Amino acid sequence: MFDLLDQCSGFMGASQDYESSNLVLVGAPMDFTVSFRPGTRQGPQAIRQVSIGLEEYSVLLDRDLAEYTYYDAGDISIPFGHVLESLDKIGQVVDRIIRDDKFPLVLGGEHLISLPVIKQVVQKYPDLKVIHFDAHADLRQDYMGQTLSHASVMRRVADLVGGQNIYQFGIRSGTREEFDYARANTRMFPGKVLEPLKQVLPELTGHPVYITLDIDVVDPAYAPGTGTAEPGGCSSTEILDAIYLMKELNVVGMDLVEISPVYDHSERTALLGAKLVREAILVFGKSSI
């Protein structure tokens, strides 16, 4: 069905039936523009592999994955080293998922993979709001002369949706120019996650919302397995609470990026990623019973 995908071991509890599933997991194993430590191309498989160590039941939500029908499409087969072609393939797959009226939950991979995903989502939802959890602003006009970079992805997203429609939480790293741009153009809340998120929920209600979550928003004490770790972040509990806070929003898509297994010797980062995926399915997916 998905000619562009390499099927692989799936996330726990995933259905084998694409047609009946309203949420589709798909991996985008690309890390071609990372500026420090590579390895995030292995992130999607690491999340899947550790997911079996979690329960399908979420005690805080009182919901169970057995009550949901979701499909794991595997990893997109992308041409190694070719940025534009890879972004195009990611966009093609997400376009199919959206045209089939399904919720895309994309696993990265570096943060640049969010760009083709959001590009497809905004075509269906022109009034899209983007919630961005990250340690880094990602608002550079370019990085080392390249406008397509994980360091500039949110600047490119701003070109798509308008900076005023981007809400940035947990940001604690960037250039002076990035923060100047954010003050003038985006809704940035440096350093904090839960308090400002609670404040803006009323203005997000009723709008289609896309969530992009870079795992390095979490402090490296909790999530060391990432390419550009930045001390001073939120706890794993806080980022899970952020997912719960958004349960009443009209979330239409999500990605989770920048998990790098090579720096994740205890697998705690992948485990956090898998738990975030589980909770996202239970919060943003639709029950089948």
Query: Does 141 score more than 90 pLDDT?
Result: no
**Rounded to 10 degrees, what is the CA torsion of 280, 281, 284, 289?**
-150
Helix 114-124 crosses helix 83-99 at what angle (to 10 degrees)? 40
φ and ψ of 129, to 5 deg:
-105, 140
What does the alpha-carbon distance between residue 251 and residue 95 come to, in Å, rounded to a whole number? 17
* Confidence band of 38 (pLDDT split at 50, 70, 90): confident
Closest CA to 47 of 269, 282, 288: 269
Q: 3-class SS at 268?
A: helix
What does the alpha-carbon distance between residue 31 and residue 115 come to, in Å, rounded to a whole number? 14
H or E stretch at 169: strand 166-169
> In the sheet that 70-76 helps form, which strands lie side by side, from edge to edge?
5-6, 70-76, 23-28, 103-108, 250-257, 208-214, 129-133, 166-169, 187-189
Bond before 109 cis per omega within 30 degrees: yes
Domain assignment of residue 152, yes or no: yes
Domain assignment of residue 278, yes or no: yes
CB 47 within 8 A of CB 215: no
pLDDT, one tens digit per residue, over 230-279 is 999 999 999 999 999 999 999 999 999 999 999 999 999 999 999 999 99
* 71-80, 140-149, 166-175, range with the lowest pLDDT: 140-149
Domain assignment of residue 289, yes or no: no
pLDDT, one tens digit per residue, over 163-221 is 999 999 999 999 999 999 999 999 999 999 999 999 999 999 999 999 999 999 999 99
Closest CA to 42 of 52, 53, 30: 30
The residue range of the domain holding 222 is 5-284
Residue type, 94: V
- What is the DSSP annotation of 224-260? --BTT--SS-B-HHHHHHHHHHGGGSEEEEEEEE-B-
Domain assignment of residue 263, yes or no: yes
The pLDDT of residue 81: 78
CATH number of the domain residue 216 falls in: 3.40.800.10
* Confidence band of 1 (pLDDT split at 50, 70, 90): low
What does the alpha-carbon distance between residue 22 and residue 97 come to, in Å, rounded to a whole number? 9
Domain assignment of residue 119, yes or no: yes
What does the alpha-carbon distance between residue 180 and residue 2 come to, in Å, rounded to a whole number? 43
Strands 129-133 and 166-169: parallel
Is residue 199 packed enough to be buried (19+ CB in 10 Å), middle (13-18) or exposed (0-12)? exposed
Query: Does 2 score more than 90 pLDDT?
Result: no
Q: How many domains does the chain have?
A: 1
Six-digit token string for 223: 């999530």
Closest CA to 135 of 39, 216, 29: 216
Domain assignment of residue 37, yes or no: yes
